[in-house]
């Protein structure tokens, strides 16, 4: 779904992904530092544009691009499979600095829990992605089960409740001086 406003912070701004962002989305998604933590994606820029156009009309998902304070695209994050009071989050890709990444996560989760008022969101993270696991831990993520993908790569399923996030939010913001 497309939102016509921005989620603005000190270090980053989140906005709905647009078709013109397809090249950046693919470049960050296929960056070797990031793609090792994600399922393979083998599409053209035009196919990515078409997917973004379809996603923007999907009433059960939001896909955000995050931009640095100087307007440079540095990451993506998504909320999808919205069903009643819960959803799944993912498609997290970032080349930003740690403070920017944390703030983007805060803006995103404030949107999830305060704007669209979900009670919880789920996701999964490959076990070797220690930075994202640490970020999720800082915000009160609960790890539920461990699984292995079709290629034998272990991943962890997780759930974040509104109450857990609200409890941890201010502590995390103090650490990055926001």
How far is the C-alpha of 157 from the C-alpha of 18, rounded, in Å? Answer: 29
Q: Does any domain span residue 2?
A: no
Q: Does any domain span residue 177?
A: no
What domain range includes position 143?
7-169
Mean pLDDT score across all residues of the chain? 93
Strands 86-94 and 120-126: parallel
Q: What is the mean pLDDT of residues 145-152?
A: 92
Q: Residue with structure tokens 């307007």?
A: 71
Q: Based on the structure, what is the number of domains in the chain? A: 1
Q: Residue with structure tokens 């201010």?
A: 170
Q: Does any domain span residue 138?
A: yes
| CATH number, domain with residue 63 | 3.40.630.30
| Exposed / middle / buried, residue 88 (Cβ in 10 Å: 0-12, 13-18, 19+) | middle
Q: Does any domain span residue 1?
A: no
**Confidence at residue 70, expressed as pLDDT on a 0 to 100 scale:** 94
Chain segment 3-39, per-residue pLDDT in tens = 999 999 999 999 999 999 999 999 998 888 888 888 7
Three-state SS at 36: coil
DSSP state of 128: T
Evaluate if residue 160 carries a pLDDT over 70.
yes
For a pLDDT cut of 90, what percent of the chain falls above it? 79
Q: Does any domain span residue 174?
A: no
Q: Does any domain span residue 21?
A: yes
Chain segment 99-144, per-residue pLDDT in tens = 899 999 999 999 999 999 999 999 999 999 998 899 899 999 999 9
Q: Does any domain span residue 94?
A: yes
Q: Under a CB-based contact definition with an 8 Å cutoff, are residues 139 and 160 in contact?
A: yes
* The token pair that represents 137 in the structure block: 């831990």
* pTM, to two decimals: 0.93
Evaluate if residue 40 carries a pLDDT over 80.
no
């Amino acid at each position: 779904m497309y939102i016509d406003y921005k989620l603005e912070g000190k270090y980053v701004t989140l906005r709905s992904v647009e078709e013109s962002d397809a090249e950046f989305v693919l470049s960050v998604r296929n960056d070797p530092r990031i793609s090792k933590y994600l399922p393979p994606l083998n599409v053209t820029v035009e196919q990515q544009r078409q997917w973004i156009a379809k996603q923007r009309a999907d009433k059960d998902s939001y896909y955000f691009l995050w931009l640095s304070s100087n307007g440079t695209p540095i990451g993506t994050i998504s909320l999808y499979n919205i069903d009643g009071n819960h959803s799944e989050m993912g498609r997290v890709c970032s080349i930003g600095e740690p403070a920017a990444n944390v703030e983007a996560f805060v803006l995103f989760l404030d949107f999830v829990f305060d704007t669209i008022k979900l009670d919880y969101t789920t996701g999964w993270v490959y076990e070797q992605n220690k930075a994202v696991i640490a970020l999720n831990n800082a915000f009160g993520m609960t790890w539920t089960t461990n699984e292995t993908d079709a290629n034998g790569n272990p991943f962890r399923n997780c759930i974040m409740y509104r109450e857990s996030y609200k409890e941890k939010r201010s502590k995390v913001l103090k650490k990055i001086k926001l």
